[in-house]
Chains A and B, each alone.
Chain A
Amino acid sequence: MKLKPTFPNMLPGEQVVLLLHRHGFVAARIILLYVFLGVVPAAAWLLLGSYTNAIADPATAGYAALVLLFASYFLVWGLLFFVSWLNYYLDVWIVTNERIINIKQVQLFHRIVSEQKLYRVQDVTWEMQGVLGNMFKFGNVIIQTAAEQSKFTFEHIPDPEAVAKTVMHLLEQIESQLGANTMAKLDGDLVEGAAQPKPPAPKI
């Protein structure tokens, strides 16, 4: 869990309460995979130098081909590593005192940003699955809202219990500020709004 004072497109008076990334264990898995994929060709290069004459003479065609092959491999390896890190790091969930913002970096050219007003939250569920999840204390928080996109899932975040409690606490604060009657009216409006057909598009 990390506190962050600001982020772009903040509303006036809005404060960031939580800024969440996936747990470091997920990042460690990516790093380990790419370290392995980087060590294997590096070892192959050393073995080629030790046991063969393939890279002994820099003037030969075989040497040039090998250098180009290894350079291509490491450039692509570095790019894929960086993009994997980017996909990890740019998956962000932001909870402010007004909204929940879900930013998902699916691929390099695929980014989904969705947000929901906090007062629309209906239900908060947290879960920790598996041995590793319980050992490293990471899991999911599922937030049910009364909106078109009814479910927000914070995936593999650290300490899901504390996050769920924080969201519930914020919700209680909003309820106490607005009053139970207003919240009930908002809930009723949302349910009615969901049942009503969409208004016709304005004529141009």
Chain B
Amino acid sequence: MSLPLWLLLIPFALLLLVWLVFSIVAITKMLRFGFLSRPAVISSFAYILFAVVILLTTITGLSAVDWSTSLEIGTPDIALPALPDLKGVTNTFQP
């Protein structure tokens, strides 16, 4: 069974959406209730910077991927090596 590779992007996009909502809430709370103090502003800025770096790295990493290919799922097609003929033993693995 094979699945189009781009299907992997759907759960990632959903996760990204949830992550974005939580991030906005967290940053808003930090700036609103943190009295706009230096640690609150610096940590919020650092978080935004970290998120941008991770997202840019991901986009760069995924840009080389060929999304038209398929992801193989199921039993792998393994070619067994030919066993040497043994005296008195029938090699059932040979075609």
Measured CB to CB, the residues of A under 8 A from B are: 4, 7-8, 58-61, 63-65, 67-68, 71-72, 74-76, 78-79, 82-83, 85-86, 89-90, 103, 105, 108-109, 111
Contacts and interface: CB of A to CB of B under 8 A. Distances in A.
Contacts of A7: 35
B79 interface: no
A89 B30 contact: yes
A61 B70 contact: yes
Contacts, number: 90
B64 to A, nearest CB: 4
B26 A79 contact: yes
Contacts of A89: 30, 34, 39-40, 43
B25 interface: yes
B19 to A, nearest CB: 5
A61 B54 CA distance: 20
Contact of A108 (B16, B25, B34): B25
Interface in B2-30: 5, 8-9, 12, 15-16, 19, 22-23, 25-26, 29-30
Given A4-B35, A108-B22, A85 B43 contact: yes
B71 to A, nearest CB: 5
A68 B12 contact: yes
A90 B29 CA distance: 9
Contact of A86 (B30, B35, B55, B62): B30
A82 B26 contact: yes
B33 interface: yes
Given A59-B65, A85-B43, 7 more contacts: A67-B65, A68-B58, A71-B58, A89-B34, A89-B43, A103-B33, A111-B33
Which one of A58, A61, A79, A90 has the highest number of Cβ atoms from chain B below 10 Å of its Cβ?
A: A61
B54 A64 contact: no
State the 5 A-B residue pairs at the shortest beta-carbon distance, nearest first: A58-B64, A71-B58, A64-B65, A67-B61, A61-B71
B69 interface: yes
Contact of A79 (B23, B30, B67): B23
A75 B54 contact: yes
Contacts of B50: 78
B62 A64 contact: yes
Contact of A75 (B15, B34, B37, B65): B15
Nearest to A21: B39
A90 B26 contact: no
Contact of B8 (A59, A65, A79): A65
Nearest to B36: A8
